Amino acid sequence: MRYGMVIDLKRCVGCNSCTLACRAEKGTPAGIFYHRVEKYEVGKYPNASMRFRPIPCMHCQEPACLEVCPTGATYKRPDGIVLIDHDKCMGCRYCILACPYDVRSSLKKIENYFGPGTVTPYETIKQKDFDKGTAVKCDFCVARLEQGRLPACVETCPATACFFGDLDDPESEVSRLIAFNRGTTLKEELGTKPSVYYING
Amino acid sequence: MTNKTAGNKKSSVKMNNSLPLGSGYQWRPLDPQEKGKRQTLFGICGACMQRDCGTLIRLQDGVVVRVEGNPDTPPNFGVLCARGNSQIMSLYNPYRVKSPMVRTNPAKGLDIDPMWKEVTWEEALSIITEKLKKIREKDPRGLVVCEGFGESGTILRSLFTAAYGTPNEIATHGPLCTIHYASSFVHGAMPEAIAEMEYCEYLLSLGRSLGPNFATAPAIRRFTKAMDRGMKLVVVDPHCSIEASKGEWVPIRPGSDLAFLLAMAHVMMSEGLQTDEWFLKNRTNAPYLIAPDGYYYRDPATNKPVMWDPVESQAKTFDSEFKDIALLGSYSINGVFCRTGYDLIKEEYAKYTPEWAEKICTVPAKTIRRISREFVEHAKIGSTIKIEDFTFPFRPASINTHRGVNGHRGGSYADLVGKIINMLVGNIEVPGGCVGNSYRGPLLEPDEDGVVKLRYQAKPYPFKYPPDTIDMHEYYPNKHSTPHLAVQAILNPEKYHIGYQVEAWLTMGSNPIRKNAEPDVYIEAFKKIPFHVSFAYHMDEPAILADIVLPAHSALESARCIAYRQPHQTTSADQAGMYMAYIRQPVPPVFHSRHTDDILMDLAERLGILYGLGGVYDRLNHTYNEPEPDNFTLKNSAYQLDINKKYTLEEIYDRQLKSWSHGNGRGLDELKRTGFVKFQGPRKHWYTYYFFPDNKTRHPFYFENQKKSGDTLRANLKKYNLKFPGIEDEEYVFEQYHAIPFWIENSEINAPPEYDLWVVNWKTPYYSHDQDNVGGNPWLAEISERDPFDAGIFLNSATAQQKGLQDGDTVTVASRYGKTSGRLRITELLHPDAVGIPGNHGMGTIQSNPLNRVGASFNSLLTLDEKTLDIISGGQELSPRVKIYKSGAIR
Segment B404-426, tens digit of pLDDT: 999 999 999 999 999 999 999 99
For residue B559, how far is the Cα from the chain centroid?
24
Say how far apart CA B219 and CA B582 lie, in whole Å: 19
Q: In chain B, which residues have their Cβ closer than 8 Å to the Cβ of A156?
A: 68-69, 78-80, 85
Q: In which band, very low, low, confident or very high, does the pLDDT at B13 lie, cut at 50, 70 and 90?
A: very low
B796: nearest CA partner in chain A = A45
Please, what's the b/e burial string for B266-281 (b: 16 or more CB within 10 A of its CB; e: otherwise)?
bbbbeeebebbeebbb
In the prediction, which pLDDT does B626 show? 59
Nearest Cα residue in chain A from B10: A31
Report the distance separating Cα B816 and Cα B40, nearest Å: 53
Contacts of A38 in chain B (CB under 8 A): 5-6
Average pLDDT over residues B709-734: 96
Q: CB distance from B163 to chain A under 8 Å? A: no
Task: Identify the pLDDT of residue B310.
Answer: 98
Q: Inform me whether the pLDDT recorded for B191 exceeds 90.
A: yes
Q: Which helix (H) or strand (E) holds A75?
A: strand A74-76
C-alpha dihedral sign at B271, B277, B279, B285: positive
Distance CA B704, CA B447 (A): 13
Distance between CA B696 and CA B445 in Å, rounded? 8
Contacts of B64 in chain A (CB under 8 A): 122
From the list B66, B60, B117, B121, the residue with the least C-alpha distance to B89 is B66
- Contact B85/A126, CB-based, under 8 Å? no
CA–CA dist B200, B91 (Å, integer) = 39
Q: Which residue of B has its CA nearest to A127?
A: B65
Residues in CB range of B549: below 8 A, 6 or more apart: B97, B100, B101, B116, B533, B534, B536, B539, B543
* A47–chain B nearest CA distance, Å: 8
* Residue B439's pLDDT band (cuts 50, 70, 90): confident
pLDDT tens for each residue of B794-853: 999 999 999 999 999 999 999 999 999 999 999 999 999 999 999 989 889 999 999 999
**Minimal C-alpha gap between A93 and chain B (Å):** 15
Average pLDDT score over residue span B860-878: 97
Which residues in B294-373 belong to E strands, given as ranges?
Answer: 306-309, 314-317, 330-333, 336-340
Identify the H or E element spanning A121: helix A121-126
Closest residue in A to B5 (Cα) is A40
How many Å apart are CA B861 and CA A98, to the nearest integer?
48
Does the pLDDT of residue B173 top 80, yes or no?
yes
Q: Which residue type does B43 have? A: G
Report chain A residues whose CB lies below 8 A from the CB of B63: 121-122, 124-125
By the CB < 8 Å criterion, does B334 face chain A? no
Query: What is the per-residue burial (b if ≥16 Cβ within 10 Å, else e) of B783-814?
Result: bbbbbbbbbbbbbbbebbeebebeeebebbbb
For chain A, the C-alpha Rg in angstroms (whole number) is: 17
Q: Characterize B150-166 residue by residue with b for buried, 16 or more Cβ atoms within 10 angstroms of its Cβ, and e for exposed.
A: bbbbbbbbbbbbbbbeb
Query: Which of B92, B765, B829 comes nearest A15 by C-beta?
Result: B765
The pLDDT of residue B28 is 74
Q: Determine whether the interchain pair A120/B25 forms a contact, defined as Cβ–Cβ distance below 8 Å.
A: no
Task: List, in sequence order, every residue forming a beta bridge with B820; answer none if it has no partner.
Answer: B813
Secondary structure class of B401 (helix, strand, coil): strand
For residue B642, give the DSSP letter. Answer: P
Give the type of residue at B714.
R
Q: What SS3 state is found at B235? A: strand
> DSSP string spanning B818-873?
-EEEEEEEEESSB-TTEEE--S------TTS-GGGG-S--GGGG----GGGS-TTT
Q: Does B31 lie at the interface with A, CB-CB under 8 angstroms?
A: no
Contact by Cβ (8 Å): B652, B155: yes
pLDDT, position A115: 86
**Vertex B584: Cα angle to B580 and B589 (nearest 5):** 170
Better pLDDT: B890 or A115: A115
A17, A24, A41: residue with CB nearest B829: A41
Question: For residues B742 and B740, what is the distance between their CA atoms, to the nearest angstrom?
Answer: 6
Question: Residue A148, exposed/middle/buried by CB under 10 A (0-12, 13-18, 19+)?
Answer: exposed
* Residue A24 amino acid letter: A
SS (H, E, C) B249-262: EECCCCCCHHHHHH
Scanning every residue of chain A, which has its alpha carbon at the shortest distance from the alpha carbon of B787? A39
How many angstroms separate the CA of residue A24 from the nearest CA in chain B?
6
The answer to whether the beta carbons of residues B687 and B577 sit under 8 Å apart is no
Q: Are B101 and B116 in contact (CB under 8 A)?
A: yes
Segment B271-307, tens digit of pLDDT: 999 999 999 999 999 999 999 999 999 999 999 999 9
In Å, how far from its chain's centre is CA B574? 23
Element of type H or E holding B710: helix B704-719
What is the share, in percent, of chain B residues with pLDDT greater than 90? 89
pLDDT tens string B552-608 = 999 999 999 999 988 889 999 888 899 999 999 999 999 999 999 999 999 999 999
Convert the pLDDT of each residue in A65-99 to its tens digit: 999 999 999 999 999 999 999 999 999 999 999 99
Has residue B891 got a pLDDT over 80?
Answer: no
CA A52 from chain center: how many Å?
15
Task: Closest CB to A20: pick one of B249, B779, B786.
Answer: B779
User: Is the predicted pLDDT of residue B2 greater than 80, yes or no?
Assistant: no
Mean of pLDDT values over B5-31: 46
Q: What is the pTM of this model?
A: 0.96
Cα separations (Å) of B714 from B360, B474, B475, B700, B707? 31, 12, 10, 22, 10
Q: For B315, which DSSP code? A: E
Residue B22 has pLDDT above 60, yes or no: no
pLDDT value at residue B573:
87
pLDDT tens per residue across span B440-461: 899 999 999 999 999 999 999 9
Q: Is B61 left (phi over 0), alpha (psi -120 to 50) or beta?
A: left
Per-residue pLDDT, averaged over B489-507, amounts to: 95
By the 8 A CB rule, do B543 and B549 touch? yes
CB-based contact B5 A32, cutoff 8 Å:
no
Over range A39-58, report the average pLDDT. Answer: 98
pLDDT for residue B661: 83
Cα B885 from chain centroid?
Answer: 33
> Quick one: CA dihedral A187, A191, A196, A200, positive or negative?
positive
Distance CA(B228)–CA(B214), nearest Å, equals 20
Those residues whose C-beta lies under 8 Å from the C-beta of residue B231, and which sit 6 or more positions away, are: B197, B200, B201, B202, B203
Tell me the C-alpha distance between B171 and B161, whole Å. 13
The pLDDT of residue B12 = 35
Angle value at C-alpha B137, between B134 and B138, nearest 5 degrees: 90
Mutate to test the interface with A, among B27, B79, B367 (most CBs of A within 10 A): B79
A104 to chain B: closest CA residue? B8
- Predicted local confidence at residue B890, as pLDDT: 59
Q: How far is CA A160 from the centre of its chain?
A: 17
Lowest-pLDDT range, B39-48, B344-353, B761-770? B761-770
Percent of chain B with pLDDT over 70: 96
Per-residue pLDDT at B7: 34
Q: How far apart are CA B408 and CA B745, in angstroms?
A: 9
CB atoms within 10 A of CB B711: 15
Helices B519-528 and B483-491: crossing angle in degrees, nearest 10, is: 50
Mean pLDDT of A116-125: 90
| Cα(B559)–Cα(B585) distance, integer angstroms | 5
Mean pLDDT check: name the lowest of A139-153, B21-35, B313-327, B333-347: B21-35
Q: Which amino acid is at B824?
A: L
Q: Using only C-alpha atoms, what is the Rg of chain B? A: 27
Distance CA B256, CA B136 (A): 47
Cα–Cα distance between B220 and B495 in angstroms, integer?
Answer: 47
Instruction: Look over chain B and give the mean of its residue pLDDT values, rounded to a whole number.
Output: 94
With H, G, I as helix, E, B as strand and everything else as coil, classify residue B798.
helix
Q: What is the mean pLDDT of residues A157-184?
A: 98
- Res. B1: pLDDT tops 50: no
